[in-house]
Amino acid sequence: MKARSPGVRRRVWIIGFVSLAVIAGVAVLSARAAIEAEIQSRAAEKLVEAGYSWLDVAVTGRDVVLKGAVFSEHDKDRVEAALREVWGVGNVESQLQVAVREEPYTISMTRSDDELKLRGSVPNEEARKTIIGLANANFPGLDISTKLKIDPNMAETERWLTGVGFALSQLKHVSSGRSVLADTDLSFEGRAAKPGAYEALITAFEEETPQSISVRQMRVQPPKAEPFTWTVQLEGDRVILAGYVPNDDAKIWMTSLAERLFPNADIVDQTFIAKGEPDDWWDAAELAVQALNHLRSGSVTLGPSEVTVEGVAKSLDAQRAISALKDAWPSGFDFKASVRLSQQGPAERPRRKASTAHTWPVQL
């Protein structure tokens, strides 16, 4: 076999090297494409998670370019920071635009006894149907009146809809009230519909408000209680406060007073905030707790115009002390006592740490 000349061998080597380079280049490009696709997928998932699913992401290598419109500079910073957390992302270049509107993007929701009115703007027909569906689901017994115009100038529809859903659902707790969402700023006012509704609203606004909105104003009036009654009861090693109190200060004050007079008992607060308390309620409530301190077991009930003490007195002196309280009550309260004498001698209760069963947020 004839040997190849040196020139031929060089050409063979060159062709081999070129082929290997081409293969290596194709492999690198394929790997790069796979990496870019993976980063693209992760970035898109992060945008959905952060509430910016409408934004576009372009990936070159490990670098990301953001495109689209957001509502504020805060949103720009937030979405950029979110993408920097994505594993594999190198540089993040923002080409985001801040949408400018002359007036806030506003929707109002007003509830009365028999009607819910929806007024304002929605970004598209799908959002309009979603809001009407939420209204029907939350208020099945009310007439739903809708005058919602379509205005596509809402850059962050999903986050905005989350705020609308929250604002709408809180109207379930009021007999009459109004929620207004201007861009992402929420204002809410109303009167709580029933006992416990006031506390539910306070808790919702303090603990459940979506991150997509800001509460600018929240004014809620407690429900009106008819009759306005309040009871303090001594049951074993527990002092139970139940019924209605006029405000959160009263809840805190009565709990503290009970803890001071009954240091060995568990203090259980089951009261609700309401309006309609009689004149001199504070003085009468303080005397009620003091009267309970003379009982081995029993209760003191404070109504709109009467006080009732029932139970077993600790001793004869305690029974007389309760009777003597008749002249101490504020005018306007009739005093009734049904207290029998204990057949047991004074007995010290087991020492237990005082605690409250419920702690309600302070009124905004």
pLDDT digits (tens, 9 = 90+) for 285-337: 988 988 999 999 999 999 999 999 999 999 999 999 998 888 888 888 999 99
Residue 45 tokens, joined:
């998932």
Domain range for 41 is: 6-98
pLDDT digits (tens, 9 = 90+) for 192-221: 999 999 999 999 999 999 988 899 999 999
Shared domain for 140 and 196, answered yes or no, is yes
Shared domain for 208 and 111, answered yes or no, is yes
Instruction: Count the neighbouring beta carbons within 10 Å of the beta carbon of residue 195.
Output: 16
Shared domain for 63 and 138, answered yes or no, is no
Shared domain for 234 and 337, answered yes or no, is yes
CATH at 175? 3.40.1520.20
Q: What is the mean pLDDT of residues 83-87?
A: 84
3 state DSSP class of 277: coil
Does the pLDDT of residue 349 top 60, yes or no?
Answer: no
Predicted pLDDT at 104: 80
CA-nearest of 71, 59, 123 to 97 is 71
CA angle centred on 169, ends 168 and 173, rounded to 5°: 110
> Which residues are 241's β-sheet partners?
232, 269
Shared domain for 158 and 247, answered yes or no, is no
CATH at 82? 3.30.1340.30
Query: What sign has the CA pseudo-torsion 27, 28, 33, 38?
Result: positive
Of the two residues 335 and 101, the one the predictor is more confident about is 335
**Structural domains counted in the chain:** 3
Domain boundary among 98, 116, 142: 98
Domain boundary among 47, 64, 98: 98
Shared domain for 214 and 275, answered yes or no, is no
Shared domain for 114 and 94, answered yes or no, is no
Shared domain for 262 and 171, answered yes or no, is no
Domain boundary among 201, 221, 241: 221
Give me the chain's average pLDDT, please: 83
Q: What is the mean pLDDT of residues 269-284?
A: 94
pLDDT digits (tens, 9 = 90+) for 129-155: 999 999 999 999 899 999 999 887 766
Does the pLDDT of residue 174 top 80, yes or no?
Answer: yes
Q: Is residue 21 part of a domain?
A: yes
Shared domain for 317 and 239, answered yes or no, is yes
Shared domain for 217 and 283, answered yes or no, is no
Q: Are strands 143-150 and 334-341 parallel, antiparallel or unpaired?
A: unpaired
Shared domain for 215 and 117, answered yes or no, is yes
Q: Is residue 27 part of a domain?
A: yes
pLDDT digits (tens, 9 = 90+) for 57-69: 888 888 888 888 7
User: What is the C-alpha to C-alpha distance for residues 197 and 293, in angstroms, rounded to an integer?
Assistant: 32
Q: Is residue 152 part of a domain?
A: yes
Q: Is residue 29 part of a domain?
A: yes
User: What is the C-alpha to C-alpha distance for residues 265 and 262, in angstroms, rounded to an integer?
Assistant: 6
Shared domain for 179 and 256, answered yes or no, is no
